Amino acid sequence: MLRQLITVVGIVSVLSASSCSDQTTDDVTSQNTAEGLWVGTINTNRTLTAAVLDNGTYYFFYSVVANPTQIAGVIQGTGTSNNGSFTSSDTKDFGIGVAVRDATISADYAARQFLNGTVTYTGTGTTTFTSSYNTAYDTTPTVASLAGVYNGQLGSSGGAQTANMIVQPDGTFTGSDQNGCTFTGKATARTRGNVFDQSITFGGTACSFAGSTLLGILYFDIPTRRLSTAAPNSLRTDAAIFFGPKTL
């Protein structure tokens, strides 16, 4: 069952349909898979923003109960789309402030319409979700649109800290949290879909992931000016999550 807590790297409120540029690609998504951005709700009174990439990798950002501006964690794994059925057997739920949990996903979808399903946790019950397609996925991403200062939270299984992040027009970024953990990284536009790949490297002992480089995704919602990012470690035992609004 998805759990309540507080927050990390700018990741998710209800991310509404938006574009990173005026250029659109009508057929960016496959016509017969669950690929895309999805916005919806979970039956535990949480909001959901899900990104299913063209290679089947997915990131489901979920909020704190009844508080869509605070991210509580991210569900991540690799799924398979087959004739309206999306399934995953390697699901990990990276909750902020709690240990990672294993799960599976079974969902129904209609391409570019809906993605609805169930997350089944190993020995601890299920949650259900419903979502609709966010056409922001069909726009061409530009790293320049990310440039700015973000004030939010950086989280992991150890909890969340107030943090800031500065993104340059070329997609490189730097940041730090209230405990003195520093990090650097780079966002890169993907060839398909309005989602960015990210690489993030953490500094010394003040960081939960000291000396490590993690890979994940980043999403910026222009209407709400909110950034959401997630990057699991190599063993998928924890993940760095940042979420927060652009303030400058």
Residue 133 placed within a domain: yes
Q: How many CB atoms lie within 10 A of CB 27?
A: 8
Residue 110 shares a structural domain with residue 192: no
Confirm whether 8 is domain-assigned.
Answer: no
Q: Does any domain span residue 184?
A: yes
Residue 164 lies in a domain: yes
Do 68 and 155 have their domain in common? no
200 and 144 both lie in a single domain: yes
Tell which residue, 86, 85, 84, has the closest CA to residue 60: 86
Mean pLDDT over residues 179-190, rounded?
A: 98
- Render 148-204 in DSSP notation, one character per residue: EEEEEEEEETTEEEEEEEEE-TTSEEEEEETTS-EEEEEEEE-SSSS-EEEEEEE-S
Q: Amino acid letter at 33?
A: T
* CB-based burial, 76-92: b 16+ in 10 Å, e otherwise: bbebebeeeebebeebb
- Would you state the structure tokens that stand for residue 211, as one six-digit string? 């000396």
Residue 239, domain extent: 139-245
Mean pLDDT of the chain: 90
Q: Are residues 145 and 241 in the same domain?
A: yes
Q: Which of 81, 111, 137 is the last residue of a domain?
A: 137
pLDDT of 8 above 70: no
**Residues in contact with 142: Cβ distance below 8 Å, sequence separation at least 6, in sequence order:** 20, 21, 189
Cβ proximity of 48 and 105 under 8 Å: no
Pairing of strands 114-121, 125-134: antiparallel
Domain-located, residue 5: no
Q: What is the pLDDT of residue 31?
A: 74
Whether residue 209 is predicted with pLDDT greater than 90 in this model: the reply is yes
Say how far apart CA 231 and CA 216 lie, in whole Å: 4
92 and 144 housed in the same domain: no
Q: Which residues contact 66 (CB under 8 A, 6 or more apart)?
A: 45
Confidence category of residue 49, pLDDT binned at 50, 70, 90: very high
Q: What is the CATH number of the domain that holds 176?
A: 2.40.128
pTM: 0.88
pLDDT score of 217: 98
Q: Which of 137, 170, 191 is the last residue of a domain?
A: 137
Q: Cβ of 119: how many Cβ atoms within 10 Å?
A: 24
Note whether 118 and 69 are same-domain residues: yes
Shared domain check, 221 and 151: yes
pLDDT band at 222 (very low <50, low <70, confident <90, very high): confident
pLDDT at 1 over 60: no
Residue 247: predicted pLDDT: 97
Residues 144 and 238 both lie in one domain: yes
6 falls within a domain:
no
Q: What is the mean pLDDT of residues 137-157?
A: 96
Asked if 72 contacts 95 with a C-beta cutoff of 8 angstroms, the reply is yes
Same domain, 145 and 111: no
Looking at the fold, whether 163 and 81 belong to one and the same domain comes out as no
Is 235 inside any structural domain?
yes
pLDDT band at 92 (very low <50, low <70, confident <90, very high): very high
Which of 137, 157, 173 lies at the terminal end of a domain, its last residue?
137
Residue 52: pLDDT over 80 = yes
Chain centroid offset of residue 74 CA: 6
Q: Which residue has the higher pLDDT, 9 or 99?
A: 99
Residues 181 and 98 in one domain: no
Q: 3-class SS at 143?
A: helix
Q: Which of 173, 171, 109, 179 is nearest to 142 (CA)?
A: 171
pLDDT at 101: 98
pLDDT band at 126 (very low <50, low <70, confident <90, very high): very high
Segment 135-152 shows an average pLDDT of: 96
Confirm whether 106 is domain-assigned. Answer: yes
Mean pLDDT in residue range 238-247: 98
Q: Give the 3-state secondary structure of residue 13.
A: coil
Domain count, the chain: 2
Residues 76 and 111 in one domain: yes
